[in-house]
Amino acid sequence: MKRWRNSALAILLLVLGSASAAVTSISRAQAEKVHPAGREFSVDRLLALDDYFLGMVAERKIPGAVVLVQQHGKPVYFDVFGNRDSGHPMTADSIFRLYSMSKPITSVAVMMLVEDGKLKLDDPLSKYIPAFGDSKVGIDNKTGDEHASFGLVPLQRPITIADLLKHTSGITYGFYGDDPARKRYAQLDVFGRDWDNASWAERIAKLPLAEQPGTLWNYGHSTDVLGRVIEVVSGQSLYHFLKDRLFDPLRMTDTSFYITDLQHRERVAEPFASDRMVGPVVGMHDPADIGRWEAGGSGFVGTSADYARFLQMLLNGGTLDGRRYLTAASVKLMTRDHIGPGSGIARDYYYFPGAASGFGYGFAVRTKEMAEEPGPLGEYRWDGVGGTFFWVDPADDMFVLVMTQAPSQRWRMEVDVRKIVYDALGN
């Protein structure tokens, strides 16, 4: 099998939990009742990942990467490549800015509260954040003057918790699109760190929605708003709720919003100086620059080993090491398409995750098989603008996790890695 670098593998196994690397409390036979055994990997073909990532480093496309392919609860491929920063080689315990890979974590936390009976998917958002009861939708009357033509109309129905989970709330981002509503998000500078989640949500609630709730998949701050809902319902800060219910039990010891122990600052992976922009006006932040905002949709930093435990829990149907975090029914609900034919939901032009996909609660979900985008139906995935990405493939009982800090390369890498991985699976 793969010629692992011994020190890197030792760190991964230590954090994953044992020499069996995240093997759960269920047996292989039991696991195959949940997931078919699937296809098995060709070792020689899987080693093409070596050539790919060594080439990406040599060509200075990326500074370095941590790459994990895990099947049946065990790593079948794991290696580190290149450099963590200008002075240190990449290591298995390197810390990465996760950006939008924060969204699945926060979405799981919401579903935990739904299972607790403290939250309902059809609850109006205004039940928890009353300021959203006054929300309006911004419209452009196309008169040529964005200020004179901009108007507001009432909601046809309230924003619901389910809308926030599937990005159909009308709450948007301000770094794409040129309609007046989106421009107001950009003008407000909602990515600042000088306010807590409560005051941040109040600011967002004053902005016009980009469209009526339930009508368009529209990438935006919906998951950040869910972070504040979690606080209201739980009575805890978002971080402390996640620490109590997910991070500590899952042993995700390096996942947080900020790096408070400066001894860990040297473990942060950095992009090339010329590749730090994650949006037209936003550069990659320093996770040691501590603020009050805990952005559930974009704010986490963490390691490959931490995120691997989170993904294995999902792949297992909500359990890991004998502990249940979600029911299998909730995991299935999160990872099935909610915006497909018959839903009445249109798809955003800018950020919708492809013609072969729908969207669940926090994940893109594979709904079509395409030769140019290999992967089975039911596979679910997401990525982060800093260069990290993953996908979970229940049919083959595996997940793939790539961690790097290279905003300009993230889409290219996901396409390339996907082709290598599925070429290495037998038919």
User: pLDDT tens digits for 345-391?
Assistant: 998 877 788 888 999 999 999 999 998 889 999 999 999 999 999 99
Both tokens of 97, joined, read 């800015």
Amino acid 85: pLDDT: 92
**% of the chain residues with pLDDT over 90:** 72
Give the 3-state secondary structure of residue 80. strand
Phi-psi domain of 388 (left: phi exceeds 0; alpha: psi -120 through 50; beta: other): beta
Phi, psi of 366 (to 5 degrees): -70, 125
Asked if pLDDT for residue 14 goes beyond 50, the answer is: no
Amino acid 26: pLDDT: 31
Q: What mean pLDDT, rounded, does the chain reach?
A: 88
Both tokens of 117, joined, read 């009976």
Amino acid 140: pLDDT: 72
Amino acid 31: pLDDT: 35
Both tokens of 45, joined, read 């073909």
Amino acid 150: pLDDT: 73
Phi, psi of 371 (to 5 degrees): -60, -35
Cα 189 from chain centroid (whole Å):
22
Q: Catalytic site residues?
A: 100, 103, 219
Contact 206, 336 (CB under 8 A): no
Phi, psi of 409 (to 5 degrees): -110, 0
Asked if pLDDT for residue 9 goes beyond 60, the answer is: no
Amino acid 262: pLDDT: 81
Contacts of 41 (CB under 8 A, 6+ apart): 69, 71, 76, 77, 424, 425, 426
Asked if pLDDT for residue 186 goes beyond 90, the answer is: no
Contacts of 263 (CB under 8 A, 6+ apart): none
Amino acid 41: pLDDT: 93
Asked if pLDDT for residue 171 goes beyond 90, the answer is: yes
Contacts of 248 (CB under 8 A, 6+ apart): none
Asked if pLDDT for residue 146 goes beyond 70, the answer is: no
User: pLDDT tens digits for 224-262?
Assistant: 999 999 999 999 999 999 999 999 999 999 999 999 888
CA distance linking residue 405 with residue 22, whole number of Å: 25
Asked if pLDDT for residue 62 goes beyond 70, the answer is: yes
For the residues of 154-204, what is the DSSP string, one character each?
Answer: E-SS--BHHHHHTT-SS---SSS--SHHHHHHHHHTTT-SSS-HHHHHHHH
Q: What is the signed CA dihedral for 128, 162, 384, 269, rounded to 10 degrees?
A: 40
For the residues of 316-359, what is the DSSP string, one character each?
Answer: TTSEETTEESS-HHHHHHHTS-SSSTTS--EE-TTT---TTEEE
pLDDT band of residue 148 (cuts 50, 70, 90) is low
Asked if pLDDT for residue 149 goes beyond 70, the answer is: no
This prediction has a pTM of 0.90
pLDDT band of residue 43 (cuts 50, 70, 90) is confident
User: pLDDT tens digits for 300-342?
Assistant: 999 999 999 999 999 999 999 999 999 999 999 999 999 998 8
Amino acid 113: pLDDT: 98
- Which is it for strands 346-347 and 357-359: parallel, antiparallel or unpaired? unpaired
**% of the chain residues with pLDDT over 70:** 84
CA distance linking residue 391 with residue 384, whole number of Å: 12
